[in-house]
Amino acid sequence: MPTAFAKKESLAAIDKKFASLGLLEDFDFVLHLPLRYEDETAVHRIGSLYPGQMAQVEGIVRKSEVQIRGRRQLVATIEDESGQLSLRWLHFYPSQIKAVEEGRLIRVRGEVRGGSFWGFEMVHPKVSRAGAPLSDRLTPVYPATEGLNQPQIRKAVNAALARVRLDDTLPEAIQKKYHLAPFADSIRLLHNPPKDADTQSLIEKTHPAWERVKFDELLAQQLAMSVARATRQNKKAYAMKGKGSGLVTRLLAQVGFALTPAQEKVSREILTDMKRSYPMQRLLQGDVGSGKTVVAAIAAAHAIDQGFQVAIMAPTEILAEQHYRKLSAWFEPLGIATGWLAGSLTPKKKQQAAALVADGVTQLVVGTQALIQQHVTFAKLGLMVVDEQHRFGVGQRLSLARKGEQETIAPHQLSMSATPIPRTLAMTFFADLDVSVIDALPPGRTPVVTKLFADSRRSELLAHVHDVILQGRQVYWVCPLVEESEALQLQTATDTFDRLQQELSGLRIGLLHGRLPTQEKTAVMTAFHRHELDLLVATTVIEVGVDVPNASLMIIEHAERFGLAQLHQLRGRVGRGQNESLCVLLYMAPLSSVATARLKAMYETQDGFEIARRDLEQRGPGEFLGLRQSGMALLRFADIDEDAPIAEQARDTAQDLQSVYPEAAAAHLQRWARQRADLLRM
Ligand SMILES: Nc1ncnc2c1ncn2[C@@H]1O[C@H](COP(=O)(O)OP(=O)(O)OP(=O)(O)O)[C@@H](O)[C@H]1O
């Protein structure tokens, strides 16, 4: 009896371990696909080994001894007719010493390392009897966890495979169209590769069976996004259809310029959304300096005019502060109560600001993520504008989504981004959003001239800086990016500042970097805005959104260290006024070919979409969209970079399925998205 009891106990413990891997139901096991495969189907010749290879060889033990080299270790050498291989164990039992006694013929398996003077070696290889029958198929290796071994997982997977039906969710027509392997065959093959399977393509995940699985996963993602969209359309929002008092018109008179046709078009799209009784979820894209702020202000004016509150959130205080400055200058004279809520406020001030928001006194509140903290409540939030949403972390985005959901009536949401996302990519990865694009710059902009300068021409450049400042303009000097170390980055910024103060004595120079206390940051930025500073030495904190039209010269030091999108954003800080502007990319020769291509792109074009296209070419969508850092890449099998073509097919298929085979779409989503629906929605 005690043994049976113990067995039962341990089964429960194993189930718990499986559960920790997300394996609860049969289908979870079915989709628990191998991480990789081990190839135990062949014995390699020692002479053919290469470093990094997982290999299996047979040979005679020529030498075997326990050595004390720093620590006690068992070292052996085996030999076949093609060469010799060293074996080493740092932990070993007496039985292992015996297993590699000199003169024995053994089989070993492990990773080939080294290539030193002594040749290749294997550390802690598995030893078995030479001449034992070879496996006739690849051995799957599954994602595991502490306390679960491969045979246990294999057994559980195969048991699940025997129980479930692996019906194909995809209609035959679709399978044919994209030459997809059947689902059931693919799954069985991946768990138990047959003898004649193409080993290489299984290991590299290019086998048709893998392609089918990736296709299905990406399809599920696409379907989930479109379900998210449908769900949103079933939610309630305030339909802002009233006539209002003409606040939008008064705002437009206040801003002092006429909208461009592009701004008019996107404003119309946004206002149309806000008149609907389900929440808007629109992404407003516009190249740097294209004038997104005024469009957000129009949306805000429309909501406020109908009695709603508006929140505008930006990822950094500098950016939020600037929005606040601009929007309050527009709205306050019109009698609209604006508020400011950011982390740097004293607790008391924060509380006061939050109380005014909660009471509905504040009509327009601007701030950072402090706006979505739990204790902040709104009397009647009608519109939430989020600038540069992709810069917020996943957690913040989730709480943003939830903030809306808590209310029975969700606010309309407008996201803004200065990263032009190529259309196919946007359709693939933001399929649940509507997208508006401001595709032309405001009039009267003189294009920024971009010049490449080798660092050796620095003194020439300093003379030019002097001239520009004497003409009453302002200058940005962007410090080199030091990605590896924030401390070093800071040091570089301070050094540059000190050096420029000497080189350009008599000029008013300020320093702005991420580590400054917020109040100082604000003070420096305000001084630059008011033209109390001539030159601003800055790190990339100024990358997004900073808008000082009088600044007409930008110098980017060590431009070769920056990414293309980043250079474009930085350059966008100048050329915002009437003055002719210049952006100087200072580089340190010699340049790598990638850096040359990047700088050349900057020199050749100013079109954000073209730059984005080239950036995408160089970096791939994962890096481009920042999905890796943001944790948005929630795919288990597909890779958004390598499998982008499959993602596009999946996107088209999702549309086909929903319109022609809605049942198949539902079944597919059910199969894949059961535990992931919450995450996929992001
Ligand atoms: N229609 C227009 N006519 C003239 N000037 C405009 C117009 N629209 C916007 N501007 C001005 O252009 C500048 C850039 O606008 P804004 O700051 O809104 O750009 P943005 O799209 O937010 O760019 P970024 O992403 O770089 O912050 C501002 O100084 C703004 O006042």
CA distance 392 to 79: 58
- 424 vs 208 pLDDT, higher one: 208
Q: Which atom of ligand 1 is nearest to the CA of 286?
A: 21
Q: Which atom of ligand 1 is nearest to the CA of 438?
A: 21
Out of 123-132, 334-343, 465-474, 481-490, pick the least confident. 481-490
Class of domain 449-605 (CATH, top level): alpha beta
CA distance 206 to 214: 10
Q: How many CA atoms lie within 13 A of 253 on its CB side?
A: 7
Question: Is residue 231 predicted with pLDDT exceeding 60?
Answer: yes
pLDDT band at 367 (very low <50, low <70, confident <90, very high): very high
pLDDT computed for residue 118 by the predictor: 67
Q: Residue 381: name the closest of 414, 348, 349 by CA.
A: 414
CA distance 653 to 176: 12
CA distance 630 to 622: 10
Question: Is residue 560 predicted with pLDDT exceeding 90?
Answer: no
Q: Residue 343: name the closest of 363, 372, 364, 378 by CA.
A: 372
Give the 3-state secondary structure percentages of the chain, helix then strand then coil, rounded to 5.
45, 20, 35
Global pTM reads: 0.68
CA distance 311 to 532: 31
Q: Residue 673: name the closest of 299, 358, 221 by CA.
A: 221
> What is the average per-residue pLDDT within 6-33?
80
pLDDT computed for residue 543 by the predictor: 66
pLDDT band at 429 (very low <50, low <70, confident <90, very high): low
Fold for 247-438, please state it. Rossmann fold (3.40.50)
Q: Two tokens at 176?
A: 């044919």
CA of 367 to the centre of ligand 1 (A): 19
CB 125 within 8 A of CB 76: no
- Residue 373's alpha-carbon distances to 127, 134, 399, 403, in angstroms, are 58, 61, 8, 9
CA distance 480 to 239: 49
CA of 269 to the centre of ligand 1 (A): 19
Q: Which residue's CA is the closest to the ligand 1 atom numbered 30? A: 291
pLDDT computed for residue 674 by the predictor: 58
Q: Between β-strands 474-478 and 364-367, what pairing exists: parallel, antiparallel or unpaired?
A: unpaired
Q: Between β-strands 54-69 and 71-80, what pairing exists: parallel, antiparallel or unpaired?
A: antiparallel
Question: Is residue 679 predicted with pLDDT exceeding 50?
Answer: no
pLDDT computed for residue 295 by the predictor: 97
> What is the average per-residue pLDDT within 81-87?
94
Q: Which residue's CA is the closest to the ligand 1 atom numbered 31? A: 291
Span 481-514, pLDDT tens digits: 766 667 777 778 888 999 999 998 889 999 988 7
Out of 320-324, 371-375, 644-648, pick the least confident. 371-375
pLDDT band at 631 (very low <50, low <70, confident <90, very high): very low
CA of 571 to the centre of ligand 1 (A): 14
pLDDT computed for residue 348 by the predictor: 92
> What are the backbone angles phi and psi of residue 429, rounded to the nearest 5°?
-105, -10
- 633 vs 14 pLDDT, higher one: 14
Question: Is residue 439 predicted with pLDDT exceeding 60?
Answer: yes
CA of 577 to the centre of ligand 1 (A): 9
Residues 6+ apart with CB under 8 A from 571: 288, 448, 450, 554, 556, 583, 602, 606
Question: Is residue 189 predicted with pLDDT exceeding 70?
Answer: yes
Fold for 42-129, please state it. OB fold (Dihydrolipoamide Acetyltransferase, E2P) (2.40.50)
Ligand 1 binding pocket includes 291 (Cβ within 6 Å):
yes
- 323 vs 289 pLDDT, higher one: 323
Q: Which residue's CA is the closest to the ligand 1 atom numbered 5? A: 442
Ligand 1 binding pocket includes 576 (Cβ within 6 Å):
yes
CA of 668 to the centre of ligand 1 (A): 45
For the chain, the distance separating the N- and C-terminal CA atoms, rounded to the nearest angstrom, is: 51
Is the omega angle on the peptide bond into residue 662 within 30 degrees of 0, that is, cis? Answer: no
Q: Residue 159: name the closest of 38, 39, 14 by CA.
A: 14
Q: Which residue's CA is the closest to the ligand 1 atom numbered 27? A: 545
CA distance 590 to 646: 39
Span 197-225, pLDDT tens digits: 888 888 888 999 999 999 998 898 888 87
- 508 vs 580 pLDDT, higher one: 508
Give the three-state DSSP class for 303. Answer: helix
> Which percentage of the chain shows pLDDT scores above 70?
88
Residues in the chain: 682
CA of 318 to the centre of ligand 1 (A): 17
> What is the average per-residue pLDDT within 216-236?
82
The angle formed by the CA atoms of residues 279, 225 and 371, to the nearest 5 degrees, is 45
CA distance 324 to 667: 48
Pocket test for ligand 1, best of 292, 476, 568 (most atoms within 8 A of CB): 292
CA of 296 to the centre of ligand 1 (A): 11
Q: Which atom of ligand 1 is nearest to the CA of 549?
A: 29
Q: Which atom of ligand 1 is nearest to the CA of 573?
A: 26
Question: Is residue 658 predicted with pLDDT exceeding 70?
Answer: yes
Ligand 1 binding pocket includes 545 (Cβ within 6 Å):
yes
pLDDT computed for residue 145 by the predictor: 80
pLDDT computed for residue 79 by the predictor: 95
CB 168 within 8 A of CB 664: no
Ligand 1 binding pocket includes 442 (Cβ within 6 Å):
yes
Q: What is the DSSP string of 586-597?
A: EEPSSPPHHHHH
Question: Is residue 544 predicted with pLDDT exceeding 60?
Answer: yes
Judge if ipTM > 0.95: yes
Q: Which atom of ligand 1 is nearest to the CA of 545?
A: 27
Ligand 1 binding pocket includes 205 (Cβ within 6 Å):
no
Span 26-42, pLDDT tens digits: 888 999 999 888 878 88
Ligand 1 binding pocket includes 259 (Cβ within 6 Å):
yes
HEC string for 152-194: HHHHHHHHHHHHCCCCCCCCHHHHHHCCCCCHHHHHHHHHCCC
> What is the average per-residue pLDDT within 424-437?
73
* Intrachain domains 42-129 and 449-605 with the same fold: no
CA of 53 to the centre of ligand 1 (A): 56
Cβ-in-10-Å burial (0-12, 13-18, 19+) of 291 comes to: buried
CA of 442 to the centre of ligand 1 (A): 7
Question: Is residue 296 predicted with pLDDT exceeding 70?
Answer: yes
Paired with 67 in beta bridges are 73
CA of 614 to the centre of ligand 1 (A): 25
Q: What is the DSSP string of 103-161?
A: T-EEEEEEE-EEEETTEEEEES-EEEETTPPPPSSPEEE----TT--HHHHHHHHHHHH
Q: Which atom of ligand 1 is nearest to the CA of 295?
A: 18
pLDDT computed for residue 601 by the predictor: 87
Q: Which residue's CA is the closest to the ligand 1 atom numbered 2? A: 442
Q: What is the CA radius of gyration of the chain?
A: 31
CB 236 within 8 A of CB 404: no
CA of 576 to the centre of ligand 1 (A): 7
Domain ranges of the chain: 2-36+138-204, 42-129, 247-438, 449-605
Q: Two tokens at 398?
A: 């989730």
pLDDT band at 633 (very low <50, low <70, confident <90, very high): very low
pLDDT computed for residue 259 by the predictor: 95
pLDDT computed for residue 628 by the predictor: 47
CA distance 326 to 259: 16
Q: Two tokens at 24?
A: 């609860």
Ligand 1 binding pocket includes 286 (Cβ within 6 Å):
yes
> What is the average per-residue pLDDT within 550-562?
90
pLDDT band at 384 (very low <50, low <70, confident <90, very high): very high
> What is the average per-residue pLDDT within 56-65?
95
Q: Which residue's CA is the closest to the ligand 1 atom numbered 8? A: 291
Q: Residue 266: name the closest of 414, 436, 113, 102 by CA.
A: 436
> Which percentage of the chain shows pLDDT scores above 90?
39
pLDDT band at 196 (very low <50, low <70, confident <90, very high): confident
CA distance 586 to 555: 7
- 232 vs 206 pLDDT, higher one: 206
> For the chain, what is the mean pLDDT?
85
CA of 291 to the centre of ligand 1 (A): 3
pLDDT computed for residue 636 by the predictor: 77
Q: Which atom of ligand 1 is nearest to the CA of 444?
A: 4
Ligand 1 binding pocket includes 572 (Cβ within 6 Å):
yes
Residue in this structure with the two tokens 């003898």, named with its chain if needed: 195
Q: Residue 301: name the closest of 336, 262, 339, 276 by CA.
A: 336
CA of 289 to the centre of ligand 1 (A): 5
Angle between helix 292-305 and helix 317-331 axes, rounded to 10 deg? 60
Q: How many CB atoms sit inside 10 A of residue 513's CB? A: 22
Q: Which atom of ligand 1 is nearest to the CA of 294?
A: 18
